Amino acid sequence: MPLLRVLHLVGSAYDNFNCNLSSLYAKDCIAATMDPSLYEFHIAYVTPDGQWRFPLSLNQEDIATAKPMPLSDAIKFIVAQKIDIALPQMFCIPGMTQYRALLDLLNIPYVGNTPDVMAVAAHKAKTKAIVAAAGVKVPFGELLRQGDTPTVKPPAVVKPANSDNSLGVVLVKDITEYDSALKTAFEYADEVLVEEYIEPGREVRCGVIINDGELVSLPLEEYLVNSKDNPIRNHTDKLKQTEDGDLSFAAKDNIKSWIVDPSDPMTGVVQAVAKKCHQALGCRHYSLFDFRIDPQGQPWFLEAGLYCSFSPKSVISSMAKVLGIPINELLMKAINETLN
């Protein structure tokens, strides 16, 4: 049986942060899923200058020696490789939309959600509107542009409409804090979402995968939040960055985050809502959603994260492992859903 030729689409033409973030997850994925009896891995690495490289690995030495080429030459190179399936590993908005659309144009199947679904999910206000129309509870909020004045009474959460990893997110406790919070959020996006603060409670994530055509909800992952010391999750809860710009994963030490016991009474409640979100947004293969559970036990939708790098550190991978689905099996399930 011939090896499956898999293209890992890595990097970012947007900025160094997203390029490094993509490389961090992709490198972890390749190390964990490399199986020479099944796959022939290829890497397409895009850098912030817009150039493409096809290194043998994501080690800096291999990247440095790989020949840079423009898009036109890169397309010819990719077509010549006769790729069977692609695994998008890009986290910037162009990477989640335009580069996936390029794969569609090249008629290369890929694991993950389509560009139109990714574009909607990348905009927090649009995502909220769609899941709310499906009957999912969402915090009251408003979408602001430069010069607009918020009307949501504090406490409120101010967040860029289309940034990830909690960049630019600020909790406003008094109306006098709005100016500073909006200034911070507008550094990351042209539109800012201001929404009512939902008192914890708890904060959880729920993943959904497709297995043999059926929706399967994964165990919840819970995050350390409390009203006094840690009312919202911030950027440092998710990633660590050195002064040189190098990224690493924030430690998952069962203190800041942990997998919830499947017998927890909130598990089934949140899983049902997650499936509703998955269907409302038109997701395929997998999805991931954040919820704030208020003190009365009501889950409130916060945002969607419709990607999985199939790295051991990916949330969906961690959740699936609890169900007895190791990462190689998880990847194979997604590949089968894509190709069949």
Torsion of the alpha carbons at 142, 148, 152 and 156, rounded to the nearest 10: 90
101 lies in the same domain as 146: no
> So what's the pLDDT on residue 250?
53
Cβ count near 37 (within 10 Å): 6
pLDDT at 248: 53
- Owning domain of residue 294: 120-136+199-306
Residues 217 and 185 in one domain: no
pLDDT, the chain, mean: 92
- Would you give the distance in Å from CA 133 to the centre of its chain? 23
Residues whose CB is less than 8 angstroms from the CB of residue 254 and which lie 6 or more positions away in sequence, other chains included: none
Residues 38 and 99 in one domain: yes
Contact (CB, 8 A) for 43 and 10:
yes
Query: Cβ(46)–Cβ(273) under 8 Å?
Result: no
| Residues 209 and 162 placed together within one structural domain of the fold | no
Q: Are residues 98 and 128 both part of a single domain? A: no
Q: Are residues 132 and 232 in the same domain?
A: yes
Q: Helices 327-339 and 16-33, interaxial angle, to 10°?
A: 100
Q: Read out DSSP for 155-192?
A: SEEEEETT--TTTT-EEE-SGGGHHHHHHHHHTT-SEE
d(Cα 120, Cα 2) in Å, to the nearest integer? 37
Whether 338 is in a domain gets the answer: no
Assess if residue 332 is contained within a domain: no
pLDDT exceeds cutoff 80 at 245: no
pLDDT at 136: 98
pLDDT tens digit string along 94-111? 999 999 999 999 999 999
Residues 124 and 204 in one domain: yes
pLDDT tens for residues 155-190? 999 999 988 767 889 999 999 999 999 999 999 999
**78 SS3 class:** helix
Asked if residue 201 has pLDDT above 70, the reply is yes
What is the three-class DSSP state of 320? Answer: helix
CATH code for position 147: 3.30.1490.20
Contact 107, 84 (CB under 8 A): no
One domain, residues 162 and 214: no
Residue 339 lies in a domain: no
Residue 47 lies in a domain: yes
Q: Are 146 and 278 members of one domain?
A: no
Q: Is residue 190 part of a domain?
A: yes
CATH of the domain at 234: 3.30.470.20
| Mean pLDDT within 213-230 | 88
Number of domains in the chain: 3
Question: Alpha helices of 92-230 — where are they, by DSSP H?
Answer: 93-96, 98-105, 115-121, 124-133, 178-186
The answer on 262 and 124 residing in a single domain is yes
In a domain, 168, yes or no: yes
